[in-house]
Structure 1
């Protein structure tokens, strides 16, 4: 069982980027989580080792560079977390003594 699935990533509203590790390229592309779920299923893992074999850099292939391993960047939904944290917050306008 994967630690974290694509469905978990989608539910958390996280952004997932795939990055080329070739120093002449360093291309980064945002992944469409819904399209990955349609192709791989919602229970497919979303961690590095679950996805690394599925991606290669098309820019490096077109340029004839050697294939390097890709890596992933997961960006949490900071705005949603902030909204949830401040949902019940009420300002107080008391003067300090």
Structure 2
């Protein structure tokens, strides 16, 4: 089974957001993938279960709230995909008369 790594996430130019699961907080922050690579290594997994143990909501901790799970959202590089799509040269599939 393919294991997606932090290096794969960085190469795909994906944006990764982490969101606190506490209903009184729901703070969301964009992760710095390069900083994670510097800390954990490029071959470290980038899926939820690979990262969830490393993160705690600092706002909830400061306010004394109980620890709740965090959630990750991976957003593809839509701009890069659109640019690649517009660079393609389309050719008609029909002949001229």
Q: TM-score, normalised by structure 2?
A: 0.89
Task: Give the superposed CA RMSD.
Answer: 1.8
Shift of 1:77: 0.1
**SS state at 1:83 partner:** helix
Q: Is the 8 A contact 1:2 1:44 kept in 2?
A: no
- Seen in structure 2, the aligned counterparts of structure 1 residues 71 and 24 have a Cα distance that, compared at 3 Å, is same
Q: Is the 8 A contact 1:22 1:68 kept in 2?
A: yes
Shift of 1:81: 0.5
Shift of 1:17: 0.7
> Would you say 1:59 and 2:54 are equivalent positions?
no
Could you tell me which residue of structure 2 aligns to residue 49 of structure 1? 49
Could you tell me which residue of structure 1 aligns to residue 14 of structure 2? 14
Q: TM-score, normalised by structure 1?
A: 0.89
Q: How many residues align?
A: 92
Shift of 1:3: 1.5
Where in structure 1 do 4 or more consecutive aligned residues deviate above 3 Å? 89-92
- Please, which runs of 5 or more residues in structure 1 have no aligned partner? 93-97
Could you tell me which residue of structure 1 aligns to residue 95 of structure 2? none
